[in-house]
Amino acid sequence: MIRGFIDHLVTFLSVLATVLVILPLLAIFVYLVYKGASSLNLDFFTKIPKTPGETGGGMANAIVGSAVLLGLASVIGIPIGIGAGVFLAEFGRGTRLANAIRFTADVLNGVPSIVMGVAAYALIVSPHISFLPFTGHFSAFAGGVALGIMMIPTITRTTEEMLLMVPNAIREAALGLGVPNWRSVLAITVKTASPGIITGCMLAFSRVAGETAPLIFTVLGNAFWSTSLDRPIAALPLQIYVFALSPYDDWHRLAWAGSLVLIALIVLAVSLVRFVTSRGVLKGTS
Site residues for other proteins, 190-249, by CB under 8 A, read 200, 203, 206-207, 209-213, 216-217, 220, 237, 240-241, 244-245
Three-state SS for 94? coil
Q: Tell me how far, at minimum, the Cβ of 210 lies from other proteins, in Å.
A: 2
CB atoms within 10 A of CB 145: 24
State yes or no: residue 173 binds other proteins (CB under 8 A). Answer: no
Identify whether the C-beta of residue 195 lies closer than 8 Å to the C-beta of residue 272: no
State yes or no: residue 80 binds other proteins (CB under 8 A). Answer: yes
Q: Looking at residues 36 to 75 of the shown chain, list those that interact with other proteins (rule: CB under 8 A).
A: none
State yes or no: residue 272 binds other proteins (CB under 8 A). Answer: no
Stretch that binds other proteins, among 14-22, 41-49, 66-74, 172-180 (CB under 8 A): 14-22
Q: Tell me how far, at minimum, the Cβ of 204 lies from other proteins, in Å.
A: 9
| Residues in CB range of 150: below 8 A, 6 or more apart | 73, 77, 113, 116, 207, 208, 211, 214
Options 74, 158, 192, 222; binder of other proteins; rule CB under 8 A? 158
State yes or no: residue 20 binds other proteins (CB under 8 A). Answer: yes
d(CA 233, CA 220): 7
Shorter beta-carbon distance to other proteins: residue 68 or 84: 84
Q: What are the residues facing 220 on neighbouring strands? A: 233
Identify whether the C-beta of residue 141 lies closer than 8 Å to the C-beta of residue 71: no
d(CA 238, CA 70): 13
Q: Tell me how far, at minimum, the Cβ of 176 lies from other proteins, in Å.
A: 23
Identify whether the C-beta of residue 151 lies closer than 8 Å to the C-beta of residue 203: no
State yes or no: residue 151 binds other proteins (CB under 8 A). Answer: no
Nearest CA-CA partner of 81 in 133, 178, 159? 159
Shorter beta-carbon distance to other proteins: residue 24 or 42: 24
Shorter beta-carbon distance to other proteins: residue 63 or 152: 152
State yes or no: residue 281 binds other proteins (CB under 8 A). Answer: no
Residue 191's identity, in one-letter code, is K
State yes or no: residue 181 binds other proteins (CB under 8 A). Answer: no
